[in-house]
Chains A and B, each alone.
Chain A
Amino acid sequence: MRPFIYHRATSDSAALQTVIGGAAPRDQPPTSARAQFIAGGTTMLDLMKLDVMRPSEVIDINRIAGLDQVEKTPDGLRLGALARMADVARHPLLADYPVIAQSLTLAASPQLRNMATLGGNVLQRTRCTYFRDPSWKACNKRDPGSGCAALDGFNRSHAVLGVSDHCIATYPGDFAQALIALDALVEIRRQGGERVLAFADLHRKPGDRPDIETALAPDELIAAFRVPAAPWTRRSLYLKIRDRQSYEFALASAAVALDLAGDGAVRQARIALGGVATVPWRAREAEAALVGHKVADDVAQRAAEIAFRDAQPRRRNAFKVELGRRALQRALLETASLEI
């Protein structure tokens, strides 16, 4: 690990001042900025040991008070960015949002869930092995313009949706799928102010700049996520398919929330896909295809086909198209049959 100066911030304004003092250039993506915030540290210290992240200043934001609350608001739920995954997953308020609790519980290990924060979780970096191993020269995400070793390499775990000719790295998280499905918002603090962003606008598809992963500036800090209350949040679930039963990243996953009429016909559907896309992936056309129909095999199958219509598989990850479809199909059927 390269040397760095450690700062401990006890307020968000102090943290922002320090990161600005570290002269984070506005034209650089936050991921390559010289000064980095650290919360749980579970992604960042790992990548610093691998020499993938090389901050020269690290600002510990764990002691900032008031950013770890889980609260009910008039509009729904507000989840503080410094709340730990394990604490949120078992919070009683999450009972009305099972897809969120499940996405958190099915991620990582108990130790990691005790450490990792919600804010850090949505910003976790890809598990692409070429990104994580700097002995591979070609990685546009790590070293812009250097190429992509995964395109024709060992790309079994890579994305089939939202890919570009420059990067096919999978977004690895689970919680983000629940947030994007439920139309969450992100509260972002910056020097002297705050802005609110749709969660769907937080992550950027790789395009020709895979190194720019989010809409955040280097001197911005996620403060909280707001999840609007809605008729579909209770009838929701997160289905995760992986190589092992536990403690593994998704090969394919689906976050589904449904609002059903008395006769079982879909009034509103919310669908997000994980493990198959470069960013948290909302499947809006598949949602629209469900409206007005009862969720039967053929209806779920058609929605799943629509969700993966634009998939662009590579040599070793073509199986993800069928796996992803079936995961979504099963998630839709299970969600529709939930007793709530």
Chain B
Amino acid sequence: MKVQSARRRCLVGVAFLLPNIAGFCAFTLIPLALSFMMAFTDWDFLRRNVFRHDPLQWVGLGNFTRLLVDTQFWRDLGNTCFLMIGLPFAIAGSLGAALLLNRIGGRRCRTGPALAAATLVLAASGLVLLRGGMPETGVWFLFGVLAATVLLAGVLTRGSVYRTLFYLPHFTAGVATYVLWKKLYHPTSGPINLALNPLLDQVSSAVRFMPGLFSIGLPLAGAAGALTLVAWHLLRLRRRWDDSEAGISAIVTGSLGPAIPLGFLLARLGLPGAASAAVALAAAALAAALISRRPRPWGPKCAADAGLGLEVALALALIPLLAILLACVVIGPSLPARAQAGFEAPDWLGDYGSAKPALMIMAMWAAIGSNNMILYLAGLSNIPQELYEAADMDGASPRQRFWNITWPQLAPVTFFIAVMGVIEGLQGGFEMARTMTAGGPAGSTTTLSYFVYTEGFETGRLGYAAAVAWVLFALVFVLSLLNFRYGNRNAND
């Protein structure tokens, strides 16, 4: 064997790298440096283009200080964060789908009963078709045929057909499906509102029929639900503190979770903004103090940031849930008055209030069956079976098995998915905004990436756009550090 000199080894190594690193320098490193430079200049299409070539002015941190006072930037940052409220729900959906698919995969189902069920569905839909005729009931027949086919294929392939169908919305997500959803959301001719309007008519007649149930019952139910949720959450925090599973920063985060919706509720009920924020913070501080002052004589010492990741994830899920329940409390009393005029389906993409939820619903459709579900499926198959066998011997209920085995074992996957989701969410929203809403109505769906696009490519303030992009980078960087710091340790738990 020929012994190669170090020089030659180096040459060979670099030669293999050369094609890639040349492109890497040209289209990653140089743009990176240029973009960093641009962020400190007042580069503007108006003064520096094919026809004019004014010298660049260095503005130092000018672009960044301008950002701080730019209401549009803060609004768009807010929009970006608001759209991420859908994330916990999407993750929960992915987990639910993965659990269902995993159960299917572990079990054989005889084809006989499945065949019988499929035939039954087919026969029923055929009957419906014969009675109603093609234009009216054809769609039910179609869905019946589809259901029978999917069921049979699912049983025969032991569930992998379902995985394919769940994954398709994510795989095809792009301008084409956004255009499709724009039509689905069309206020008058879209199928969503065409189906919603008759339903809402029935609801409003029900409210008119029994106004008391809705004006009093709904707020009561909402309040009861919210209180139960908060009580469950605080008791859970206390137990985790007692068991030394959560450190002080996790307790503080966990207490802030229910406090934020409380602050918004107070503000909505007429308290001044600063006062409601103060009350909410005081409540959170009180809860955290009460919990953290409890002695832990037996538990082992735990780090201040133990269990922080889980609490952040749970708080993110708790806030929207509480917000929905509290919304019931706030709007309940006014329902009968509104029902007199009849409820109307929202103009999804055209209303300031409903545009963001509309985008969130669509994003969720694509996110439930996405890579997250695949990762959860892989995570589920990696859980050692012995854990479940041991739990069965101790007579654990399905709920206990989930919370004590599955959920902790999946924690690293959940953490990875959540951090990746937030990082993607920070950079996302451009395609939706460009194809569906043009950032509107009134800027309610303009995310940071769309802001960078309009600044950089429409108004031509390149320096400013670059500064926004670097702020975005800073946010992503901080999150990646968190991932690096907590993600790895979580995996060792």
Partners in one complex: no
